[in-house]
Chains A and B, each alone.
Chain A
Amino acid sequence: MTEKFSRRDFLKLAGLGAATSAILTGCGPASRYVKREPYQQMPEYNYVGQNTYYATTCRECAAGCGLVVRTYQGRAIKTEGNANNPLNLGKTCARGQATLQGLYNPDRVQGPSTGDWDSAIQAVADALKNYKPNEIAFLMGMAPDHLFDLVSELASATGMNAPVRFGALGMFESRATLSKAAENLFGQAGLPWFDINGAEVVFSFGANFLETWLSPLPYTRGFVGLREGETKLRGAFVQFEARMSATGAKADHWVPVRPGTEGLVALAIGKLAAEARGGAMPRAFSSVNPADVAEQAGVELEALEELAAMFATRKVLAIPGGAALAQSNGLEVAEAVLALNALSDNFGQAGGVYLSGLAPMQTEYNRPASAQEMKSFVEKMKSGAFKVLFVHGVNPVFEVPASLGFKEALGSVEQVISFATFPDETAAEAKYVFPDHHGLESWGYQRVATGSDKPVLSGAQPVVSPYYDTRATADVLIAAAQLAGGKFAEALPFKDEVEFIETKVSALMAEADGSFSAADPVTFMAYFQQHGGWFKNVDARVSLDGSAVLNNNFKGSEAEFAGEGEFFFVPFVSPTMAEAGANKPWLQELADPTTTVMWNTWVEINPETAHELGLHDDDVVKVISEAGEVEAYVYLYPAIRPDTIAMPFGQGHTAYGRYAENRGANPADLLGAHFNEAGDITFGGMKVKVEKVKSAARGIGLSRLESTMGVYGDSLGEEH
């Protein structure tokens, strides 16, 4: 042997041999062998290899749409709308579809922060027992209602503070203003109900009813009725808003009025229409001068006259949307727009305005807290009046505008206990996190607040068994109340959550005109689960008396703006993600309907304005208001006023799982603590500055579905 055949060479060859056999065997069936675990015990109603469908309620927002979930071998595979539910009639929105990505999200809270549920329940019981009842506060989301009812009962029996509800969607809809306007005009608070389906023409003052507003599915159905009615002509649709929303994009006429002038425009159109019709001028329109309004709103007088001519001759439904009401004069805007309906004699008629009826098991309209009420809540936290704060179904650190100081105030509360399913910003600040089940693993019910003419109680039941070591918050509270004893135990004399729901739901057995009936509670509850809820076959909408609304005297006041900047600011709720969708990857990857942007936050700027400022697509700008500043990419948006910029709400999380964290910016950080007369934050009444931070660079920028080469790309900037 001239050379030694080294040990190393031998190992190389042996390795090659092993690799060869691995490749050869890799082709064989052994590599395909999988393991299958049969059921230990086959659940009821299941059949080997067959799908099982369960009816439940969607928890992605508080509207209360019914779902039917396809499950296969104990896994939830697909959600579809429940055709039995009069609210959504078998349809779902994108968020309802993506709810599965919440259920099987890799970043859920997997168990109680104390390690086990016994100590968790002990912690809750201690929190209830060791503090005075008025030192304990509950902050809850707008869903689910059964938990709200349970906590309300606990609170009223023990003297604790009544639970407060809040949701960013309600804030961006200016629900307090809508409800207050109804109260002022018709003597009854509640959410107005607009019969778009039956209307001839719709004048929407910034209402994004095809996106997230109030209850988008029934309003989409109404829109289809407006356009496609079998018996009537195609209805017309006019949208008044400074920035074209996805709803406004469907309008025949988009009228870009200056933010804050919506009420004036409504009154001016009313005046011109009344003039065109002749007769006595209603008092409501006496104070406005259409020519002045046209100038203030930045639209042509002729345009207003044309719209007024339409108003004078056809039956027009006027709708006040959230952004128009989020102004210092918002209450008057709401009243003016609602009053405009009197011209078309719309009250209590098909194609007109009603008040939403009360849902089953509801005695009065229960609206979520306004931002102003949240501010006083925060002040109580700061002053130490609240020593224990329970949070469920809402993420106030993210959803409540930062200027209200919720996050800072949490530090003044001795015990913050979060029931969050996801590790959100509020849970990160909490002392304990005791995770609730995901909506698809939960029992419950939800009252349908608006959208259906019938009173609907949507029912929820688990479609799969809990994936993680989570526990229903109602069960935790019941167990803790038992443990705390005394009046707490007396307040919640239930075995568990299901017994509480059964007690509540079976009270409906006595009601007439129900969608089903049964002789005994057990059967009734079984039907309730099977149908995914219960509704009453009556038209519960409240007819309004609008005979006097035009006698109101509207001052025609101008909106006041906070801040120094040169731009009006329009924050809007992301149509695809809404307030809590950012943690679901497919919602992130859905293209925004108007900009087609995915996965990020953008600032919409008119191309002309951008050109003047030397801004291009994908430049990074800082938007500065009196309350704060955020950075985001520029999007040259052709359908926005040159004096206005807009940003979507939904991103900008600092927690909330890998798909949401550190992505985009939160425009709520720019909102100062200013409120209108009804207590809603004036998110449309901010003025902002824009500063360029960085120029667009190759490979960095917004991901869009549309091609960036084209009409409104950078070419505009270069050509001019």
Chain B
Amino acid sequence: MIRPEEIKMSAEETGKWGMVINQDICTGCQACVAACAMENNVTFVGEEDSGYGRSMHWIRIERFWEGEYPEVKMTPNQPMLCQQCGSAPCEPVCPAFATVHSTAESLNLQVYNRCVGTRYCANNCPYQVRSFNWRDYERPEPLPNQFNPDVTVRRRGVMEKCTFCIQRIHKAQDKAKSEGREVADGEFTTACAQACPANAIVFGRVDNPQSLVSQLAHKGHGVKHLEELGTLPNVTYFKGG
């Protein structure tokens, strides 16, 4: 482990919440995808629409092939979700200010009631992690019974994406405040990290050098995807191997 005082935060690291994903131990089991869908009322779209690439996964597990048989290898599974960029390409292109930056939580917000469905943000996202509600997808009764009351149920014509489980952030902050203290590291986590059987996803405060996520992010050779675009992503990947 790295001692907190050894961690040097660069000036650009302005994030608050962040994630470390260890691809070496990610098994691609999809538990995070299912957990995310259950927590965030993410709809399923059916076979035809998912064939058109309209499935609503807020987190997906990417994998690529390298080489040819028999020397073929699958690259380490890469869970891809909104990187909660510090300087997000999706934000300046929204004509309705529905895709805005949260100063308080340093997250990229999607304000559903403002969204008019131009889809500019999704087109400008280099990570391709935004999904658009092309229809009012049917969730026949009694499936809506499982809706999480803390998360808005989106309707047709609205863009959506990973929120870092902002409802859990608010809940934890609210609880801590009611008890007159700060939110402790590891007190709560996102749905994907909580479900992950391999603990490949770690979530927490990146602006706190003491937190587990900061410790991990500054250990070894972490990669922030497409950092060269100046997006200042808040998710650090470890390929391992």
Chain A interface (Cβ within 8 Å of chain B)?
A: 72, 75-81, 88, 90-98, 100-101, 103-106, 210-211, 216-217, 220-221, 223-224, 227-228, 234, 244, 246-247, 249-250, 252, 254, 256, 467, 575-576, 585-591, 593-594, 596, 598-600, 606-608, 638-642, 663, 701-706, 711-712
Contact = CB atoms under 8 A, between A and B. Distances in A.
B38 A97 contact: yes
Interface in B188-207: 191, 194-200
B156 interface: no
A589 B29 contact: no
A341 B22 CA distance: 30
A111 to B, nearest CB: 15
11 contacts: A80-B194, A91-B195, A98-B34, A249-B77, A256-B69, A576-B30, A593-B77, A599-B46, A599-B50, A639-B69, A641-B69
Contacts of B61: 591, 593
B12 interface: no
A397 B70 CA distance: 38
A649 B97 CA distance: 47
Interface stretch (B87-95, B112-120, B141-149, B227-235): B141-149
Given A93-B31, A224-B198, A77 B146 contact: yes
B51 interface: yes
A598 B47 contact: yes
A665 to B, nearest CB: 14
Contact of A639 (B37, B65, B147, B194): B65
A120 B177 CA distance: 54
B197 A600 contact: no
Contacts, number: 187
Contacts of A75: 145-146
Contacts of A588: 44, 47
A90 B198 CA distance: 11
Contact of A94 (B24, B33, B39, B51): B33
Interface of B: 22, 24-25, 27-31, 33-35, 37-39, 44-48, 50-51, 55, 57, 60-65, 68-70, 72-74, 77, 140-149, 191, 194-200, 240-241
Nearest to A70: B148
Contact of B38 (A78, A93, A227): A78
A642 B29 CA distance: 26
B47 A599 contact: yes
Contact of A467 (B46, B64, B142): B142
Contacts of A90: 194
A157 B167 CA distance: 55
Interface centre among B28, B62, B144 (most CB of A within 10 A): B28
A93 B31 CA distance: 5
A292 to B, nearest CB: 20
A74 to B, nearest CB: 9
A703 B44 CA distance: 13
Contact of A106 (B77, B140, B197): B140
A221 B199 CA distance: 8
Contacts of A608: 69
Contacts of A91: 31, 195-197, 199
Given A228-B25, A589-B45, A593-B29, A703 B196 contact: no
A272 B142 CA distance: 61
B29 A104 contact: no
Given A94-B29, A586-B38, 4 more contacts: A216-B29, A254-B72, A575-B29, A638-B65
A467 B143 CA distance: 12
B35 A97 contact: yes
B30 A105 contact: no
Contact of A590 (B24, B34, B47, B145): B34
B195 A97 contact: yes
Contact of A224 (B25, B60, B72, B141): B25
A104 B195 contact: no
